[in-house]
Structures are given as structure tokens and as C-alpha cells.
A and B are shown apart, each in its own frame.
Chain A
Amino acid sequence: MSSLFSDYQIWTALWATVKLTLISAVGSLIVGTIVATLRLSPVGVLRFVGTSYVNIFRNTPLTLIILSCSFVLYIQLGISLADSADPKFADVNGFRLAAVGMTVYHATYVCEALRSGFNTIPIGQAEAARSIGLTFSQTMREIILPQAFRGAVVPLGNTLIALTKNTTVAVTISVYELSGVLKTVTERDPGLLNLAFMVVGAFFILLTLPMGVGLGWLGKRVAVKR
């Protein structure tokens, strides 16, 4: 047990998983909200952009998106997200590319969760907002999005849990998060594998279980009473 923790930097890996989860969650919340707003826009072109985004990225496997962040964005197009003078360049760049891929992919689920939230809002809410002279963006910010988020806490929570577990895909571009531990143990010390799997599995349950409970509670608390 102790050699697992000392030789394989489990705490570092756990921190990477947590960081990747948090950054991608915030990123996909922002991008997903923008895409959902596009899909409600009165301008047809913007709606088309929003719909296309969801159709393309939701239907592409996450592994493919993460791999293309590394192979297409970085290796082919030379887009790097870290300072090349940094001695940890490869790690930092890989982590950030993974965060971009995670964000792009999970934003589609945030968008769809918000759309289910929109469906809980009576049409009269937007009409009343427009009738007191609010613009489209004010109506979205003040009336529609706050109610949509409150109505979408549970599906958003499910997305967050899925996102947490999906961070394991980042190992494909050599990000050292929890599944990176498993990969390294497999290569160097297969005898530790059972233990490693149990520990990593337990960490994920420790991360996701409170999310489910907490967000279920929050969902009830902030629900809009009509």
C-alpha cells in the first residue's frame, strides 16, 4: 500500500483528476450556456451554429476529441497552451489540451441539460420580461437562465458526475491523472494492480458520491415554486 502511494504519486494524480474535473466543469458550464443561448436566439444563423455544435461534438467519442486536441491542435497545427520554456511544458500543455477537449465535449451535455431546464419555464415568463422592455440578453440573464439552471440542477449534476469519471480519458494523451496511475502500475509492477484498481475506484466513488447527494439536495432547495 505504502509503496503504491510513495512510488506512483497517487496524491499528485488525484489532484490532477480533481483539477481537470473542476476546470472542465467550469469551462463546459460557460460554453454550454453560450451554446444553449445560441439555440434560443431569434437569429436563425446563430441557432444553426448552436445546433451544429451539439450535433457534432455530442456524437463524437470523447477519446477522439481528446486525441485530436493533442494530434490535430498541437502536433499538426502547432497550437500549444503552455510556455515552451517551462521545464514541465509537456505536462502542462497536455493537461490544458485535455481540459479543452473535456470542455468542448461536456458543453454539449450542459447545453442539453439547460434545454430541459428551459422546458420547465412557462412561455409567459419571457413574454412578461419582454413586455417590460428587457432586451433578449437581459431576458436571458435575468429570467430564463436563472430559472433554467434551477430546473436543471439534477441533469447538470449527472453531467458533472459523468465528467468526473470521463477525466480518465486524458491518460490517452499522457496526462498523469488517476487512470495514469493504473497505466504506470500495469507497466512497472503488475503485482500491485488489484490494490491500485481498488484505490483508484474508491477515490472516484469518494468524489462522485457527495456530488450526487449534494446536487440532489441543492436541486430541491433552489427549485422554482410556481
Chain B
Amino acid sequence: MTDQAPPAGETNVASGEALVRMAGVNKHFGDLHVLRDIDLEVAKGEVVVVLGPSGSGKSTLCRTINRLETYESGTITIDGQPLPEEGAELAKLRADVGMVFQSFNLFAHKTILQNVTLGPIKARKIGKAEAEQRAMDLLKRVGVQEQAEKYPAQLSGGQQQRVAIARSLAMRPKVMLFDEPTSALDPEMINEVLDVMAGLAKDGMTMIVVTHEMGFARRAADRVVFMADGQILEQQAPEEFFANPRSDRAKDFLSKILTH
């Protein structure tokens, strides 16, 4: 990790104020009520880890924040602005919200460098030379600068995920969403990705992280949000949550996770 200014983009809200605000958000998949009256505020610079059993709606929560999923009621604002409907406005807002997927989703027909420069060039209209310069800095930051001319399929999973993080960072996002970024990785590669994420957290990036890595939650999270059946059941500081979970669902969940 090199010494660098924090990678986050400029925001309207000041440090400590709510950057992401969800109020009364509801979503269904057909008859299935996957998000129930979600109220969640994430302050600028805060790192929130979302925990919960499979199917509890964690991915859907992440995906509604940048509107990869629609929702039926409630409001979501990012940096004081409500989420727009489809169209150019929405694309602009998405550029401010980084997203890292479980399956990396690097653009398979583009080189690593092109993966990282595409967004800045197309969505931010930055010149190619400058975009490449910044991309190389970011690739160095996540430790894959040697792979810049390769294609995604030639990299290990851990390297691909670090490139995916660099690709998001290249947009100078206001907030980053991570949906189980290490679940598809071989165990020996998990830490290299978590270390990059912990570095971002330390540099003041606002982050919402869905993960089963309890070590990361303890180490890097300011707050743990526990979800079950589409609801947020608890929100606490990590030490408090792991030591004294209040709901039965959380106790049950932790007993299952922590015994392996």
C-alpha cells in the first residue's frame, strides 16, 4: 500500500453526516417480500458490515442502493440526492457509487488496464493518457501493476478482485458497495483482498460490505448491520454485536458462523 490521498470523491455532505440514506424501502420479487421497511443511514467515512443468513436480502440491499434492482416504495438518497429513475441521470449517480461483485465481473474482452480506464474515459470524459496514469497508480495500490496488459482470465481470482476494486476506485466513488467480495476466492487469496479493503477503510472510504468474514468485521467495521428475512434486526458496533447479540436470530446466526 502506497501513501496516497484518500481515494474517495468529493461529497456535498460533511464527514460524519449521512451519505447514504434509505428510508422505508420495500422490495418484492413476485410474492417474496425481500426488503421490509429498510431504514439505514451510512455516514461519510463510515464502514458498515452487513451480516445475515443466506436469503436475508443482503445482496438485494446493496443492489438497490445503486439501483441495479428497482424498489417499490421508500426513498434512497446518496449524498443528499434522491436516486433518479432510469436514464443518463441514473448512470451519473452510479458512477459515484462503486460496486464490487462476488464474481468480479471484469470485462472479459478488455485488458486489465482497459478495465480500469473504461469508466473514467466514457463516463467521466477524462483523457486517455490521464486515465491510464491514474489506472496504473491504482493498480499499483492494489498490487497488480505487472498484470496491466493481461486479460482477466489470465489472473487469479484474488488478483481479479483487486482489479475490480481498482476499477471502482478509478471512478473516485463517494461510497463503495461490496457484495461478498471474497466468497468466490480460494482461502489463500482472501486476505490479499481483505487487506486492500481494510486499507481503503483506513483511508476514510465510505463502505457498505456484505461479508461472512468476521475477522474483517471486527477489524475494519464501525458498525454491524444484521439482517434476517428482509429486515434489519440489529445495528451495533462490532465488539458489542459479537459479544452481546440481542435478537435470537442473531444469536443463532453467530453460533453457526463462529463454530466453523
Contacts and interface: CB of A to CB of B under 8 A. Distances in A.
Given A134-B123, A138-B122, A143 B107 contact: yes
B156 to A, nearest CB: 14
Contact of B91 (A42, A135, A147): A135
A132 B171 contact: yes
Interface stretch (A51-59, A74-82, A122-130, A177-185): A122-130
Interface string A214-226: 0000000000111
B161 interface: no
A125 B105 contact: yes
Interface string A132-174: 1111001000110011001000000000000000000000000
Contacts of B66: 131
B96, B98, B122, B168: most-surrounded residue (chain A CB, <10 A): B122
Chain B interface category by residue count: 20 to 34
Nearest to B101: A124
A32 B150 CA distance: 32
Contacts of A134: 91, 118-119, 122-123
Given A124-B105, A133-B171, A142 B68 contact: no
Interface residues of A, number: 22
B217 interface: no
A133 B109 contact: no
- The 4 A-B pairs of least Cβ separation, nearest first, read A133-B95, A132-B119, A124-B105, A133-B123
28 contacts: A42-B86, A122-B105, A124-B101, A124-B104, A125-B105, A125-B108, A127-B99, A128-B101, A128-B105, A128-B106, A129-B107, A131-B68, A132-B94, A132-B98, A132-B118, A132-B167, A132-B171, A133-B91, A133-B93, A133-B94, A134-B123, A135-B87, A138-B122, A142-B122, A143-B107, A150-B109, A224-B108, A225-B153
